[in-house]
Amino acid sequence: MPQIPKSDNGFINPFVHAIGKTQPDLIFLQMDPMPFIVRQRYMSHKCAMNGVEEYDIKGVSDLNHPCPYTWQEAIVNLVSIDMIRTNQVHMKLDYTKGIATYPYVDLQDERTRDNNHDKFVEAITNHVICDQWSPYYEINQCLFMALMGKHKVILGDMPQLLLR
């Protein structure tokens, strides 16, 4: 992580600064994607079993395959987290009560939003991070801030040989 010098106004978060400048569509974070991918594959298979359009029963051959089949599997967004959290396909979700609409202040009343804050943090901790926190605090913080800011996040890990 780059070190940003403190200014007179206090600490400037490098993530917030970069997002304000570039406004990306997709944010890449160096975190192990496999715990999330396994859950994502399970939900894809469940969608196929429920006959959701564009999902094929043979699309997921192995839930525990040790690497992503496609880069789209590693994209985290709030709808997929809500599906995993409630164990429902996206067509059966109640978006007004889930965490998918948590960043939208105008869609949830303040009481529901306050109740969903702990669910939001718990869902990301349990279904995306899964006790595999990054050794860099800033990367962990960026994951939560990006999802709260309605950004799509792609997780990717660097192999140990390349890291050396």
In a domain, 132, yes or no: yes
Would you state the structure tokens that stand for residue 92, as one six-digit string?
């059966």
In a domain, 26, yes or no: no
- The Cα–Cα gap between 40 and 13 comes to 30
In a domain, 31, yes or no: no
Query: What is the number of domains present in the chain?
Result: 1
In a domain, 115, yes or no: yes
Please give the model's pTM, rounded to 2 decimal places.
Answer: 0.78
- One DSSP character per residue, 98-150 reads SSTTTT-TTTS-HHHHHHHHHHHHHHHIIIIITT---SSHHHHHHHHHHHHTT
Burial status of residue 46 (CB atoms within 10 A of its CB: 0-12, 13-18, 19 or more): middle
In a domain, 8, yes or no: no
Amino acid present at 24: P
In a domain, 34, yes or no: no
In a domain, 128, yes or no: yes
In a domain, 90, yes or no: yes
- The Cα–Cα gap between 160 and 76 comes to 23
pLDDT tens digits, the chain, 164 residues: what are they? 444 444 545 556 777 778 878 888 889 998 888 889 999 889 888 888 888 888 888 877 888 888 888 888 889 988 888 889 888 888 888 877 778 777 777 777 778 777 788 888 899 999 999 888 888 778 888 888 888 888 889 998 877 777 66
Tell me the residue range of the domain where 86 lies. Answer: 39-49+73-157
Closest of 153, 141, 121, 162 to residue 36, by C-alpha = 153
